[in-house]
Chain A
């Protein structure tokens, strides 16, 4: 999975991906030939309004759906061509998910929920739950270890969700509107948490959002409109904030002013909130 020159080689390669959906007699084209590369350790934001195709793109990237045409490779593995069993194994080892609606299993405690990806891998109970507790403490839920999701606030649930996404040390974590259901203060906490995890473990984050404030956390912002990438730029504000960039500065086209401030993007995504 880890190529020797991880820094220079993209971990995610999207090659001319097209996705069509049959709707009645017609065919709706959700993605019109998307090509994209994401570097290891990068926080990449897929930004767009509802109906822009950003969720569809996420589904292709995470192997939830198969593209009509084109190919998605993660770490060189063509996941759009894996069968269901290979895909499950690939998800266990290399992918993590943070969902908008947290998606913790209601009948499991926080610890059990966080330990779940390890459970699917066949890690013994004591071992996986120790790891889960450790991670829950790190996200500040040491007092909620044995609570059920319904006993926790949205922010707490999402922190557990983040712990679950990172517990198996995946290479790529997909976050689909991770703060969509949270207030602005919690949103900041959650985003800081995701970014700090990504930094610490040198993980790649694919962040899907319509919220320009969140897009500001990304190293790179890919803007989608009507199934096409209209902008793919490095976020200088973010880079300035963290002082580092995971990829060589020269390889990235310079961003037009305005987006980093959230100006046009806010207008574009304003309708969804």
Chain B
């Protein structure tokens, strides 16, 4: 028999008992919907969890510190940096050292009109900044020789000494604030740090020292990476070393790094790399310790929800089997006739399997459509019922927490699963049909 004919016969048979087919398909549809919706809720939960974690900090950064503040045997030094760089899965390593002095001021403008106080200044391997996940939003990373990278909002930490106290700074928080808590429409600052020459003024017990600096670039604000990305400066380690040599005066001593930042290629390698660093005797800190239990819990919930959905699809499978058995007992004579007329046994089997599979497929496809619509509705309700929220409910986006997320693989999986359930539950009835002898045709009614 030709495949086209088999398909036609299978559809004809399904159309023959419309209401029964409809009810069976409905069973599969509900089962498929419940799986998709349940799993999508789990995925949505996980997605918002990941967003939450990402807001708390970069998930793939491990901060390495020495026990006993570096006074013990293990030290944060250059050999360690080299060893960390050679670990598998590590894409970027940079030591971090902050400038700890009595006071830091940044001066700008003619006759030092603009002054930023209490700025934080750190030294890092500026070549590694990009690899560590720092985003340069303007300009380029510093290349040493007085070049620095400024925090995104350094410009707003300057005060205008010619204005009266209390009204001499521009508050970037005055405007509207968007849903993620960031101000929109920033007011123009007094100056652009990248365009004006700056002077770094450092005061220690040995005196006050001035260093001219140029801002080569601006990094995006990231609280997890430190305040310097917001309103501070990042300079190269060698520059910081030179600066320290000068300002420490007589009490010259080589300070160990505060910490070493290690960037790992992907989330799933963090735990492994972190473990390796720990065995070297260092203390580590990463989002992994928070993420792991959260992920585990999310997975458990997801499994539970998916399991509930699977139960209803299993019930639907029983429905398919029941329908097929009924239709076979009704069609016993027909099958006998077909066999008597020379229909191959395999064709009979394929015919019934195709019917069961088609029920699964139709139920799966409609189920996916229905659950996609349901998912959008759930999201719309959770975000707020208005047409402009529709794209956010459909596609999600920055700062949008969708309750239900349906990735394409889930739909594909659901359809495939429904078809398999159909075929599986049609297997027994199909075998039953195959066993019907041609003799049935000759038996009189």
**A binding-site residues for B, Cβ under 8 Å:** 55, 58-59, 62, 64-65, 84-85, 88-93, 95, 97, 99-101, 103, 105-107, 116-117, 119-122, 124-125, 164, 168, 176
Residue ID in chain B nearest A124 by CB atoms: B2
Q: Contact at B437–A64, with CB atoms within 8 Å?
A: yes
Interface on chain B toward A: helix, strand, loop, or mixed SS?
helix
B22-64 vs A, Cβ < 8 Å mask (1 yes, 0 no): 0000000000000000000000000000000000000000000
Residue ID in chain A nearest B333 by CB atoms: A103
Q: Is B251 an interface residue (CB 8 A)?
A: no
Q: Contact at B13–A107, with CB atoms within 8 Å?
A: yes
CA of A91 to CA of B336, assembled, Å: 13
Q: Contact at A64–B1, with CB atoms within 8 Å?
A: no
Q: Is B444 an interface residue (CB 8 A)?
A: yes
Q: Contact at A100–B1, with CB atoms within 8 Å?
A: no
**Cross-interface CB contact of B340 among A64, A106, A121, cutoff 8 Å:** A64
Q: Contact at A59–B344, with CB atoms within 8 Å?
A: no
Residues of B contacting A100 in the complex (Cβ-Cβ under 8 angstroms): 444
Q: Is B178 an interface residue (CB 8 A)?
A: no
CA of A84 to CA of B5, assembled, Å: 22
CA of A107 to CA of B438, assembled, Å: 19
Instruction: Say how far A51's CB is from chain B's closest CB, in angstroms.
Output: 14
Q: Contact at A59–B439, with CB atoms within 8 Å?
A: yes
CA of A51 to CA of B3, assembled, Å: 43
Residue ID in chain B nearest A180 by CB atoms: B444
Q: Contact at A59–B442, with CB atoms within 8 Å?
A: yes
CA of A103 to CA of B344, assembled, Å: 18
CA of A233 to CA of B275, assembled, Å: 99
Number of interface residues of B (CB under 8 A): 27
Residues of A contacting B338 in the complex (Cβ-Cβ under 8 angstroms): 105, 116, 120
Instruction: Say how far A76's CB is from chain B's closest CB, in angstroms.
Output: 19
Q: Which of B16, B338, B438, B445 has the most CB of A within 10 A?
A: B438
Q: Contact at B1–A84, with CB atoms within 8 Å?
A: no
Q: Contact at A117–B341, with CB atoms within 8 Å?
A: yes
Q: Contact at A64–B438, with CB atoms within 8 Å?
A: yes
**Cross-interface CB contact of B2 among A95, A107, A122, cutoff 8 Å:** A122
Residues of A contacting B442 in the complex (Cβ-Cβ under 8 angstroms): 55, 58-59, 64, 99, 176
Residues of B contacting A124 in the complex (Cβ-Cβ under 8 angstroms): 2
**Cross-interface CB contact of A89 among B4, B344, B437, cutoff 8 Å:** B344
CA of A100 to CA of B340, assembled, Å: 14
Q: Contact at A88–B439, with CB atoms within 8 Å?
A: no
**B binding-site residues for A, Cβ under 8 Å:** 1-2, 4-5, 12-13, 16, 333-334, 337-347, 437-439, 441-442, 444-445
Instruction: Say how far A162's CB is from chain B's closest CB, in angstroms.
Output: 13
Instruction: Apart from A64-B439, A105-B337, A107-B13, list 6 A-B contacts with CB within 8 A.
Output: A85-B345, A88-B345, A91-B340, A97-B341, A99-B337, A176-B442
Instruction: Say how far B183's CB is from chain A's closest CB, in angstroms.
Output: 70
Residues of A contacting B12 in the complex (Cβ-Cβ under 8 angstroms): 107
Residues of A contacting B439 in the complex (Cβ-Cβ under 8 angstroms): 59, 64-65
Provide a sorted-by-A list of 27 A–B residue pairs whose CB atoms are within 8 angstroms: A62-B340, A64-B437, A64-B438, A64-B439, A64-B442, A65-B439, A84-B345, A88-B342, A91-B342, A91-B438, A92-B341, A95-B342, A99-B441, A100-B444, A103-B337, A105-B337, A105-B338, A107-B12, A116-B338, A116-B341, A119-B1, A120-B1, A121-B342, A124-B2, A164-B341, A168-B342, A176-B442
Closest 10 CB pairs of A and B: A92-B342, A91-B342, A120-B343, A64-B439, A88-B344, A103-B337, A120-B342, A117-B341, A122-B2, A64-B438
Residues of A contacting B444 in the complex (Cβ-Cβ under 8 angstroms): 100-101
Residues of B contacting A97 in the complex (Cβ-Cβ under 8 angstroms): 340-341, 441
Q: Contact at A85–B344, with CB atoms within 8 Å?
A: yes
Known: A58-B442, A97-B340, A99-B441. A105 touches B347 (CB 8 A): no
Residues of A contacting B345 in the complex (Cβ-Cβ under 8 angstroms): 84-85, 88
CA of A168 to CA of B341, assembled, Å: 10
Q: Contact at A117–B1, with CB atoms within 8 Å?
A: no
Residues of A contacting B347 in the complex (Cβ-Cβ under 8 angstroms): 120
Residues of B contacting A95 in the complex (Cβ-Cβ under 8 angstroms): 342
Residue ID in chain A nearest B347 by CB atoms: A120
Q: Contact at A88–B441, with CB atoms within 8 Å?
A: no
CA of A176 to CA of B438, assembled, Å: 14
Residue ID in chain B nearest A170 by CB atoms: B342
Residues of B contacting A119 in the complex (Cβ-Cβ under 8 angstroms): 1, 5
Residues of B contacting A64 in the complex (Cβ-Cβ under 8 angstroms): 340, 437-439, 442
CA of A92 to CA of B338, assembled, Å: 10
Instruction: Say how far A149's CB is from chain B's closest CB, in angstroms.
Output: 12
CA of A92 to CA of B344, assembled, Å: 9
Residues of B contacting A59 in the complex (Cβ-Cβ under 8 angstroms): 439, 442
Residues of B contacting A122 in the complex (Cβ-Cβ under 8 angstroms): 1-2, 5
Q: Contact at A85–B346, with CB atoms within 8 Å?
A: yes
Residue ID in chain A nearest B344 by CB atoms: A88
**Cross-interface CB contact of B5 among A93, A125, A164, A168, cutoff 8 Å:** A125
Q: Which of A92, A100, A105, A125 has the most CB of B within 10 A?
A: A105
Residues of B contacting A89 in the complex (Cβ-Cβ under 8 angstroms): 342, 344
